[in-house]
Amino acid sequence: MRPNPKQLVDFFARSLTSFQSSPDVFRVLCTLPHVVGGGREPGPRRASSQVVRRLVVLDSSFNPPTRAHGEMARSALRWASTTTTSVRLMLLLSVNNADKAPKPASFPVRLGMMDAFGHGLLRSLEDEGIRPEIDVAVTKMPYFHDKARVIGESGVYGPSSSSSSSSALGEGGAHEPEQVFLAGFDTVIRIFNPKYYGGGEGMKAALGPFFERARLRVTMRTDDEWGGEEEQRAYVRGLGEGVLDEVGGDAAWAGRVDLVQGGGTGNGVSSSRVREMVRRGQREALGEMVDDEVLGWIEGMGLYRE
């Protein structure tokens, strides 16, 4: 039997306090599905059998997790599973501002919703024969390149920081898994904006190591300000045809950016839109935006009403 919401919030609150008071900058809090029985609390565990070759990372504020998040994760897991069975999913929450009361849902409650969301993913993939283990993790790092670095250096999925990043993508069992960060197109625009790197060699220093151990899987957003599908593909092509070189980057990085079409239930649904619907009392619309387990948390905990 899985822990109830109150037990989960208590577990995550204690886990988060421990993490925040430690020098750690990354920690896996628990792995799904939970090991039940014997009065055990949720906890992390290593891969049950094989070496992890691909680590899919869904990095979000999860405030709350939406069906769009679910579609991104399922699509990536299906893709990753076509080339290896050694795939793992990480749901990653940045808590670098945990000393300030986060609004509108606390970090322990968000972690509880991530747990519920992860179990929903497992059920939805079971009929397809895809059965990944899912890690619920936290970090104090704010940027993708820092997150990828501390995940790799943690040694949780492979060698620790004593291994050179250039070996991270090797095929041998001793190497780190390839990290696959899921993102929307708007995030890619920010990642390649030179203003965040201070000029000079700043962009190469930050993103060079990132793209040695990771790639970006980008869901196109064709229903908003970023233009249509062809415009977004043209943007990424341009990165590899000189744009990145001109702003202090490396054109080769464009080969580590995979554009995928959005699709399925909930595509394009944002967490802010969900919160707005709750405030308006439009419950009938929520079922198309979040899965049943997450909806149970929103209603049971009285979230986002103000």
pLDDT tens for residues 99-143?
456 778 999 999 999 999 999 999 999 989 899 999 999 999 999
Contact 132, 107 (CB under 8 A): no
The pairing of strands 133-139 and 26-32 is antiparallel
* DSSP-derived 3-state class of residue 90: strand
The confidence score (pLDDT) of residue 221 equals 78
User: For residue range 82-98, what is the model confidence (pLDDT) as tens digits?
Assistant: 887 789 999 999 998 54
The confidence score (pLDDT) of residue 172 equals 37
Residue 129 phi, psi dihedral angles, 5° rounding: 75, 15
Residue 194 phi, psi dihedral angles, 5° rounding: -65, -20
User: For residue range 214-236, what is the model confidence (pLDDT) as tens digits?
Assistant: 999 999 977 667 788 899 999 99
Tokens (6 digits) for 282: 């439009």
Tokens (6 digits) for 195: 């203003």
User: For residue range 133-164, what is the model confidence (pLDDT) as tens digits?
Assistant: 999 999 999 999 999 999 999 999 876 644 44
- For residue 57, list its beta bridge partners: 90, 181
CATH number of 5-156+176-301: 3.40.50.620
Count of CB atoms situated within 10 Å of the CB of 131: 13
First to last CA, the chain: 33
Is the preceding peptide bond at 44 cis, omega within 30 degrees of 0?
no
Cα(117)–Cα(302) distance, integer angstroms: 17
